[in-house]
Amino acid sequence: MSVIRRCLIRNSQFAIRNSQFLFARRNLKIQFLNLTSIRNSQSEIRDSNPQPAIRNFLPIGIFDSGVGGLTVYRALHERLPNERFVYLGDTARVPYGTKSLTTVERYAIENSKFLEAHGIKLLVVACNTASALALPAIRNAVGVEVVGVIEPGARAAVQSASGKTIGIIATEATVHSRAYARAIGAIDPKVTVIERACPLFVSLAEEGWVETEVTRGVAAEYLGELAGEGLGALVMGCTHYPILRNVIGETIGTDVPLIDSGEATAREVEILLNLKGLSSSPRESLADERKLCDDLDHFYVTDAAERFAKVAERFLGSAPSVLEAVEVWGHDELRTH
């Protein structure tokens, strides 16, 4: 069976499951977008103009190179309890940080098109590397609003720092891209930015070594110099790092505001949904009933579903109720010269 055929079957199953749930639980007669062709889905979505009542009940798409984006999912879920989410973790091709610009763009476009084909109303790029390198390419490839994590984090840092030096901790790829420094400089060119790569934080978070002596030792090694810089804010520029918030805060100093780019992104998504008229109708009963990883949210991974579920349980306190392994890669539409 071809990849396109499998994706079509999964897309139909997903639409039927969610339609049945909404009919049974809410007695709402909602018709979802009839996406009958993965190959033609881009033009269908761009050319269609679904009724607001239908469009507003579509889920928000989120993708990351792996499991770190679950902290962004959590921030969105907590801030927007009336929304549904479709999450894609590209666990077969992680990490993105070691890949070339062209490769990161290709991966990001494939992920974005996969989610758009499932009928989303907005896309959140939870991967810092993809946000740093591929946002323009993603926005050209899909017909929905796209929000990255770097600019919201930069804006929150500038606001909190009040002109003081801003620290950035991130993976080596994000630090080398200087994406946060550029974003902060575009807002306030006078602000000094200091960046530090903290690659071991990723493994420590995924292994659940959240508040161990090993983690404290690694944090002291990475952050010791930053602690004496009189920072006005410290940006946790990797989606794994909020898992280690307590240790990071203890090491850098409790008086330094920690900026979670996922939380900053969730605030901006809420604003954007309201501005574009895309918010789901408030329903108190739904907000009260919603749980992280419940069956209203659908999770996809490209490999290692069992490990993803275990790490999700560490990060979120529960494993996804609906988790499916898929393939998203296809024809490379980028030209290389």
Q: What is the mean pLDDT of each run of 10 residues along the chain (337 residues)?
A: 42 46 37 35 44 80 94 96 95 88 94 96 96 95 96 97 96 90 96 95 91 95 92 95 95 95 96 93 65 92 94 92 88 42
d(CA 222, CA 19): 49
Q: What's the pLDDT at 330?
A: 58
Q: What's the pLDDT at 289?
A: 75
Q: What's the pLDDT at 33?
A: 34
Identity at 299, one-letter amino acid code: F
> Are 197 and 226 a contacting pair, CB within 8 Å?
no
Q: What does residue 64 show for φ and ψ, rounded to 5 degrees?
A: -145, 165
Q: What's the pLDDT at 266?
A: 97
| 3-class secondary structure, 93 | coil
Q: What's the pLDDT at 309?
A: 95
Cα 110 to the center of its chain, rounded Å: 15
Q: What's the pLDDT at 97?
A: 82
Query: Nearest to residue 30, comparing CAs of 59, 10, 61, 57?
Result: 57
All domains of the chain in start order, with CATH: 3-148+263-325 (3.40.50.1860), 151-262 (3.40.50.1860)
d(CA 115, CA 110): 9
Q: Cis omega before residue 95 (within 30°)?
A: yes
Q: What is the pTM of this model?
A: 0.80
Percent of the chain with pLDDT over 90: 68
Q: What are the residue numbers of the active site?
A: 127, 238
The answer for residues whose C-beta is within 8 angstroms of residue 309's C-beta and 6 or more apart is 319, 320, 323
pLDDT (tens digit, 9 = 90+) per residue, 267-319?
Answer: 999 999 999 999 987 765 555 678 888 989 999 999 999 999 999 999 999 99
d(CA 144, CA 128): 19
Strand partners, 145: 122
Strands (E), 171-272: 193-197, 233-236, 258-260
pLDDT (tens digit, 9 = 90+) per residue, 141-176?
Answer: 999 999 999 999 999 999 999 999 999 999 888 899
